[in-house]
Amino acid sequence: MEIVVLRLHHRITRDKRMSSHLALVARAFGAQKLVYSGEYDNRIEQTVTQIVESWGGNFGVEYTQNERQFIKQWKKDGGIVVHLTMFGIEIDDVVDEIRKVDKDILVIVGGAKVEIEFYHLADFNIAIGHQPHSEVAALAICLDKITNGKGRKRRYSDARVEIEPCKKGKKVIDKRRKEK
C-alpha cells in the first residue's frame, strides 16, 4: 500500500518551513512521497534530499500545478483520498474502514484556505479532533493511525546514519566514518 501526501496551496512566505516539515513528517511516518501545489519552492526538495542522503530510503518530493487533476488521476488509478480537516469525521471512527479498503492512499493537507471542492473530491474527510491546530500535527497523527505505528518504526538498509536508542544521552551510528 502506497501513501502519498498532497500539500495544497504552498506559499513561500507563510509556509517556508511548514511544507518542509510536512515532507519530513510524511517520510518519518510511513508515506512514500510529498506532492505540493501552489508556489514552486525548490527548498522543500533540498531539505528532503539532504535527509534522505544520510538517513536512507527513497522518499521523493514532486510539484503539481494542477492539484485537482492530480486527485482525479489518483482516483482513476484506483487509489482513495483522505482529506484532513477539523470539519471531518473523527479519525478513530473511520480508521478501521480506511485500513480495510487496502488501496493506495492520498492524504490531502490544506494551507490557509481549502475550497469546498476538495471536501467533495475526498472519499474520507477526517478530523484529528475538532479544534483548529496544525497540518503537521494532523498529518503525523493520521499517518500513525493508518499505519498502526509501523510507518515510524521503519528502518532503512541504506541509511548512513542511524540512532541507537538509549535511556540517557545520544548514540549515533555514523556509517559514513567507516566508509572513509
Please report how close the Cβ of residue 75 comes to ligand SAM at its closest, in angstroms: 19
Contact 147, 30 (CB under 8 A): yes
Q: Is residue 115 involved in binding ligand SAM (CB under 6 A)?
A: no
Q: Is residue 120 involved in binding ligand SAM (CB under 6 A)?
A: no
CA–CA gap between residue 145 and residue 139 (Å, rounded): 10
Q: For ligand SAM, which is the closer residue by CB, 20 or 85?
A: 85
Q: Which helix (H) or strand (E) holds 90?
A: strand 80-90
Q: For ligand SAM, which is the closer residue by CB, 13 or 131?
A: 131
Closest listed residue to residue 116, CA positions, set 137, 88, 143: 88
Q: Which helix (H) or strand (E) holds 85?
A: strand 80-90
> How many CA within 13 A on the CB side of residue 109?
28
Query: Exactly one of 16, 133, 153, 154 binds ligand SAM (CB under 6 A); which one?
Result: 133
CA–CA gap between residue 12 and residue 132 (Å, rounded): 22
Query: Exactly one of 60, 70, 86, 160 binds ligand SAM (CB under 6 A); which one?
Result: 86
Query: Exactly one of 54, 73, 129, 148 binds ligand SAM (CB under 6 A); which one?
Result: 129
Q: Is residue 84 involved in binding ligand SAM (CB under 6 A)?
A: yes
Q: Is residue 116 involved in binding ligand SAM (CB under 6 A)?
A: no
How does DSSP classify residue 14?
A: T
Query: Exactly one of 48, 85, 98, 151 binds ligand SAM (CB under 6 A); which one?
Result: 85
Please report how close the Cβ of residue 27 comes to ligand SAM at its closest, in angstroms: 18
CA–CA gap between residue 173 and residue 54 (Å, rounded): 11
Q: Is residue 149 involved in binding ligand SAM (CB under 6 A)?
A: no
Give the other-Cβ count within 10 Å of 149's Cβ: 12
Query: Exactly one of 131, 169, 172, 179 binds ligand SAM (CB under 6 A); which one?
Result: 131
Contact 129, 103 (CB under 8 A): no
Q: Is residue 24 involved in binding ligand SAM (CB under 6 A)?
A: no
Which residues sit at the interface with ligand SAM, rule CB under 6 A?
A: 84-86, 109-111, 113-114, 127-129, 131-133, 135, 138
